[in-house]
Amino acid sequence: MTLNMFVQHFINALGLGSLYGLIAVGYTMVYGILRLINFAHGDIFMLGAYFVYFTTVVFKLPWLLGVGISIIGVTVCGLLVDRIAYRPLRNAPRISALISAIGVSFFIENLAIVVFSGIPRPVVQPPLLMKPIVVGQVRLIPLGLMVPVISFFLVGVLLWMVYKTKPGLAMRSISFDIETTRLMGVSVDRIIALTFALGSALAAVAGILWALRYPRVEPFMGIFPGFKAFIAAVFGGIGSIPGAMVGGIILGFVEIMSIAFFPHLSGYKDAFAFVLLIFILLIKPTGLMGEKLEDKI
Amino acid sequence: MLEIRGLNVKYGAIHAVRDVCLSIGKGEIVTLIGANGAGKSSTIRAIMGLTRCTAETLSFTPPGQPPLDLQGRPAEERVKMGIALSPEGRRILPHLTVEENLYLGAYSRDDTDGIEEDLEHAYALFPRLKERRSQKGGTLSGGEQQMLALARALMSRPSLLMLDEPSLGLAPFLVEEVFDIIQTINREGRTILLVEQNAFAALNIAHKAYVLEVGAVAIEGRGEDLLKDPRVQAAYLGG
């Protein structure tokens, strides 16, 4: 393998991994607070890709404007999912919310087929981001470098919010004891909505970057990245934000590198994630950085 | 400050609180005593808005303001109005530091300077919390956790502070300390509603007391009168 090829694979793996991580963070935050696996999260990611397709390709808006509208639009969708499908079930058994989550996921996918049609659409990549930078014998595409940089930056901002701001304090408190958090004067529903908003905004960014990186959109594009991001979240330790990012990166490297070194395995590409999942569940069920889940007192 | 008429709490078929009437004046220490399951906790949870209830009157009068009806307001709004509850079992957030627990108590407030001032005041009142400010709440001893729960409830600057079993599970010398602190807090101008199983200690410091039996008020009167009441002595003070 030449240096050029290795660097390409490395950047690809980092990019794919950080996109998994960006989606996984949304799963892990909602799980941390509500003990709910938000199965609709992958479809929220898909909406991010469609929003950017419609704003920039169909309506030909400037890039930054299109991206801004997409993030806001997807965040609103995420908030609606919480308000309509999960909030009425807040005091219901946990399994009810889980079933509701699966229902929402099917609903968004099929609604997308009706509204967008099932035909895959091409996304136009901005030429500026595709012009290779040549360093020695290595050719780098700016878009490929941008993906991990943006992802890590956003997760850094998120960590700052969770650990250094007042709403972040409330989030960490809710994840342990909802009733006591209410006693402290926290409007719990508002903090949960904020959690969904943040998770959806990150999924939107992941969807946008995905649509640029693998330039096409289709209604079922969220299913596999969604599954894999969920696996990344479990692998990293569900409930832990850094864990979700680490899990995503590891998954990205496993997928890209195993095919890079063993090209005849490429048919099994989507299976690696599940092998990784079974492996971690056998060895350390709480994930790499997950804490032991204590029962609430 | 707090007027309750005809308060009822039902959990399914269980009628936990029956037609309870309470009246708490500004600056008083009022105690609710009674056996396990008498409806003490349900009563204060209803006042806080954590438990569904029905009532003819449930009105709270913040100092210098007209009375407000509490019914239909969520707990977080009642905190803003000036009611705080230090819950049974302390409910410290074990994965947050002592200081984070205290800041969480001030969540309903926006006056940064006032919060810092109250934090210093809390540390003055409970010096051990200052020593342990950056330790996780879960690493504190039972007595320290009770101090933290009290300090945290004070951080919202409540005019009415409700305490649910603050002496539960504490060593006797700590029980005494907790009751001393409750009196100090009261002298600083806060009204206190105290739920206790330790009837003797509670009646000793209370201006007014209510004895609950199977969800209804059985006896009410001044704390010192109830200490001498033969019915109370027989049932709650060990003869």
Give chain B's domains with CATH numbers: 2-89+159-236 (3.40.50.300)
For residue A289, tell me if it sits in a domain: no
pLDDT, averaged in runs of 10, over chain B (239 residues): 94 91 95 90 94 94 93 94 94 95 95 95 94 94 93 95 93 91 94 93 94 92 89 79
> Shortest CB distance from B104 goes to which of A179, A184, A188?
A184
A177 to B87: CB separation less than 8 angstroms, yes or no = no
Q: Residue A296 above 50 pLDDT?
A: no
For residue A145, tell me if it sits in a domain: yes
pLDDT at B55: 94
* Dihedral sign of CA atoms A209, A214, A217, A219 in order: negative
Return the percentage of chain A with pLDDT > 70, whole number. Answer: 98
Give dist(CA A51, CA A37) in Å, integer. Answer: 24
Separation in Å, CA of B200 to nearest CA in chain A: 28
A166 to B152: CB separation less than 8 angstroms, yes or no = no
B91 to A176: CB separation less than 8 angstroms, yes or no = no
For residue A293, tell me if it sits in a domain: no
For residue A250, tell me if it sits in a domain: yes
DSSP sequence for chain B = -EEEEEEEEEETTEEEEEEEEEEE-TT-EEEEEESTTSSHHHHHHHHHTSS--B-SEEEE--TTS--EE-TT--HHHHHHHTEEEE-TT----TTSBHHHHHHHHTTT---HHHHHHHHHHHHHH-HHHHHTTTSBGGGS-HHHHHHHHHHHHHTT--SEEEEESTTTT--HHHHHHHHHHHHHHHHTT-EEEEEES-HHHHHHH-SEEEEEETTEEEEEEEHHHHHH-HHHHHHHS--
For residue A30, tell me if it sits in a domain: yes
Return the percentage of chain A with pLDDT > 90, whole number. Answer: 83
Q: What residues make up the domain containing A74?
A: 3-283
Segment A31-52, tens digit of pLDDT: 999 999 999 999 999 999 999 9
Asked if ipTM goes beyond 0.85, one says yes
pLDDT at A137: 82
pLDDT at B10: 92
Burial class (CB in 10 A: 0-12, 13-18, 19+), B214: middle
Segment A134-149, tens digit of pLDDT: 888 888 899 999 999 9
Sheet-wide strand order for B160-164:
B83-86, B160-164, B191-196, B29-34, B208-213, B216-222
Domain of A116, CATH number, reads 1.10.3470
Which residues, at least 6 apart from A164, have a Cβ–Cβ distance to it below 8 Å?
none
For residue A124, tell me if it sits in a domain: yes
Q: Residue A233 above 90 pLDDT?
A: yes
Residues from chain B that touch A178, judged by Cβ atoms under 8 A, are none
**Of B86, B48, B87, B79, whose CA–CA distance to B156 is shortest?**
B79
Q: Stretch A226-234: mean pLDDT, rounded?
A: 96
> Shortest CB distance from A176 goes to which of B79, B95, B103?
B95
Q: Residue A291 above 80 pLDDT?
A: no
Separation in Å, CA of A239 to nearest CA in chain B: 13
Which of B52, B104, B156, B164 to mutate: most A Cβ within 10 Å? Answer: B104
Q: Which two tokens stand for residue B207?
A: 């201006």
> Shortest CB distance from A173 goes to which of B50, B96, B108?
B96
Q: Stretch A233-248: mean pLDDT, rounded?
A: 95
Segment A45-78, tens digit of pLDDT: 999 999 999 999 999 999 999 999 999 999 999 9
For residue A177, tell me if it sits in a domain: yes
For residue A147, tell me if it sits in a domain: yes
Domain tally for chain A?
1
Q: CA separation (Å) from B74 to B60, B66, B109?
A: 14, 19, 17
pLDDT at A297: 32
